[in-house]
Amino acid sequence: DGHLDIRAQGLLYRVTLWETPILAIVSELYYRHIGATPDWTHVERVTRSKGELMRNHKATFSIFGMRRRFSFEVEDRVTSLLKESAGNCLFGTSNVHLAHKHGLRVSGTHPHEWIQFHGAIFGYKMANYVAMEDWINVYDGDLGTVLTDTYTTDVFMRNFSKKHAMLYTSLRHDSGDPAVFIDKAVRRYEELRVDPKIKYIIFSDGLSPEKAVDIQQLCGDRIKASFGIGTNFTNDVGGGVEPLNIVMKLWKCKMTAKDDWHHCVKLSDVGGKHTGDPQEIALAMTTLGIKQE
């Protein structure tokens, strides 16, 4: 039907890692197929400008741009340019190879799949809680950023305990109004008697440097902010080229090979952007007390 459909099946800790290289390959091959080429003068100019903007506003960020990049060559050059122009405000990159090549930190968070799996196996009401507990048991406080919107932020905040508020360094915002999210995060930390000023929100929802600066001002001195900026860095190549809207999500899972498959769903903070089997989405929303749109 004119759509590319790619499926990966296997053990979760292996399958999850396929998302980024698969989508990067799809994106790069698409632009080769249509004969698009980067305007390198544009890339150099806008990337330096973006890096300087972040540095001038002392806004800390990481590059989250591998999945929908124009090409490896573009991401490599953009990473080098941002390292030069943004200075210490560039915290790192989620691309492990380019982190090694350019002497940067590896920076990222766990994906929605981690919590989707827990929802399918342990139930939607306990998904965030058990997922956070399992992460803590493995990493013992390291890799301390937690995604909040797999089953909506409101549901997450009900599962976010004093223990989690202390052990996790930051919350990741990936959908919905950032101003509303800031209010909810600060309020929950205060309810748990944890000072929000020592915690971070990692914003990563379709950001540009301009949006990041605006969000940093919204945070003010209430809570710290950092940013994961992706496609705006690695697929801004001029010439009218538009980034692809491509994604991979966990669709089904089971505990052992003999078990039946369980549907896996994601409930976005933005209405109409839920993913998964429609009947399972309705079940999850009913279970969690979320009103149907």
Residue 293 pLDDT:
62
Tell me the pLDDT of the chain averaged across its residues. 95
Tokens of 59: 């806004």
* Gap between the terminal Cα atoms of the chain: 28
pTM, rounded to two decimals: 0.94
Q: CA angle 237-247-267, nearest 5°? A: 130
Q: DSSP strand E in the chain: where? A: 61-63, 90-93, 105-106, 145-147, 170-173, 200-203, 224-229, 252-253, 262-263
Strand, helix or coil at 33? Answer: helix
CA distance 282 to 267: 10
Q: Which of 144, 213, 220, 223 is nearest to 187 (CA)?
A: 223
For tokens 């591998």, name the residue.
Answer: 66
- Tell me, what amino acid is at 198? I
Cα dihedral: 218, 224, 229, 233 (round 10): 80
Bridge partners (DSSP) of residue 146 are 171
Report residues of the chain scoring pLDDT below 70.
Answer: 293
Residue 2 pLDDT:
81
Residue 264 pLDDT:
96
- What's the pLDDT tens digit per position in 20-48? 999 999 999 999 999 999 999 999 999 99
Tokens of 110: 């766990």
- What's the pLDDT tens digit per position in 173-196? 999 999 999 999 999 999 999 999
CA distance 172 to 116: 16
